[in-house]
Every structure is written in structure tokens, then in C-alpha cells.
Amino acid sequence: MEIDSAKRYKFTELAKLSKFLEIDFEKILEKYDQASFIETSIVKGPFFRGLVNGSISDQDSVIVAQKCALSFHKDMRSSINYAIELCIAWLLEDLILEKLKTLGATIDLDGSDQGRDFLSKYSISVHPDFIFKGQSKSIAVELVTSWDDYWIKNDVLDLRSSKYEKLINTSSETFVLAIDVLRREGMFLSAAEIRSNSVKRVNPAWGNKLVYSYSGINKNRNSLDVTLHQLLST
């Protein structure tokens, strides 16, 4: 199965981002060379490399699509495209995690998908992606990304209602690390700030799901380096 051009573009940008961050992308992939997706014989490392290189086997695509036939989570996407988007998100999380560690951060994955498996709908949760241990406290960090002009043109960040409610109701202090992949820029936003500037609406692009839209985000925009150091200084 050939990967469509939009997804190939994202994998190309991931590779470019790894060079920008001075993180060896192959080292990220090597971590998965001895692990298979649960209840399959598909080894994660070669599967991820296939995606990066533009194609996976038809057999693998059928198996993965069957595991990702989750109507609520995949929105208007096909099951296989939903799965590929998950893999893109995982690899981006890994890149950011490794970069932060090279900068001296004590940080770990914390989301339900930290094992990089295609989960059943009963196993999917909205835990923040990272737990960062700062100088005086630990905080939860949710990673969100933009691959186009939506944020900068509309000056707004959309969060699913379930994710938003988890962010603002968690017992730990929570932040959002928002990364504009193409511009190598970012924003480090507190959940409290998001709550004070958000309105609820329906998002047609996400299957008419309820979202909370945080307006006026671009005033917080910085270079990616500055954004990551804002997290480190928390």
C-alpha cells in the first residue's frame, strides 16, 4: 500500500524536524526494532520505516485498519489513515521527548498510548502526553501540533472537549506544548490560560465534535527553541 502524498509530506517534515532538533531519527526508530504491535506479528520499527519511506505491505495495512476501526476517534478519516496519523503523532512525541532530554529535562511519556500500540476504544484515555519534573514541581504536558496555516491564519487553537475537560480538571498543574511543525515555532500555554480564553463550538472538520477554541494564541508564539526552554524553566 502506497502512503498518500499528504501523509508522505508529514513524514518528510518529521525527518527535517529531527535534523533541526539535532536528533538522530534512525535512533528513534531503532527503539522499536524488537517490539511488535499487540496481538499482531507486525514489528513496529520496520512498520514505521515503511511509513517514512512511503509504503507498507497490503497485509499490514489490513491488520492495522481492522485494529483502528474506531468510529468516534477517527472522525471522517479512513481507519488506515487514522492509524498513520497516530504513528506520525507518536514519532513527533518521541522527537520532542528526546530533544528535551538532551536539554537536561527529566521527562517521561504518560499518555495511554505511550507503548505505541493501536488500542481498543476501552483503553484509550486523555491523559497528557508527558510528565515533566521541574526544579520545584512536576507538571503534566499535552503536545498539540499544526501542520498547516490554521493557527497562524485564524489565531485559534482547537481542543476536543474530552481533552479540554481533562486538562482543566486534572489534579496536577497542566500545560499545553503547541508546536507549529512547518515554521519551527511553538507556544507554551497553561491550562488556566486556555480556560480563560476558550469558547465551546462544533468543529465540522472533526466530525462535528464539540471543541473548545482558544482565541488569540499567536501573541504567545515563539521560536521552537525558546518554547522548549519555557517548559524547562517551569
Q: How far apart are CA 9 and CA 30, in angstroms?
A: 22
Q: Do the domain assignments include residue 117?
A: no
Domain tally for the chain?
2
Domain housing 69: 1-91
pLDDT at 207: 77
Q: How far apart are CA 92 and CA 234, in angstroms?
A: 22
pLDDT at 173: 87
Same domain, 83 and 132: no
Q: How far apart are CA 26 and CA 205, in angstroms?
A: 33
| pLDDT single digits (tens) 17-75 | 999 999 999 999 999 999 999 889 999 999 999 999 999 999 999 999 988 886 444 45
pLDDT at 163: 83
The x, y and z cell numbers of residue 154, run together, are 485564524
Q: Do the domain assignments include residue 121?
A: no
Same domain, 84 and 136: no
Q: With contact defined as beta carbons under 8 Å apart, do 200 and 152 qualify? A: no
Same domain, 131 and 85: no
Q: What is the CATH number of the domain that holds 135?
A: 3.40.1350
Q: How far apart are CA 2 and CA 58, in angstroms?
A: 9
Amino acid (1-letter code) at residue 102: T
Q: With contact defined as beta carbons under 8 Å apart, do 149 and 114 qualify? A: no
Q: Do the domain assignments include residue 144?
A: yes
Q: With contact defined as beta carbons under 8 Å apart, do 33 and 50 qualify? A: no
Question: In DSSP terms, which residues pair with 133 in a beta bridge?
Answer: 106, 138
Q: With contact defined as beta carbons under 8 Å apart, do 220 and 188 qualify? A: yes
pLDDT at 203: 86
Same domain, 67 and 132: no
pLDDT at 74: 46
Same domain, 232 and 131: yes
pLDDT at 110: 84
Work out whether strand 174-180 and strand 138-146 pair parallel, antiparallel, or are unpaired: parallel
Q: Report the predicted TM-score, pTM, of the whole model to 2 decimal places.
A: 0.90
| pLDDT single digits (tens) 132-187 | 998 778 899 999 999 999 999 999 999 988 888 888 877 668 999 999 999 999 99
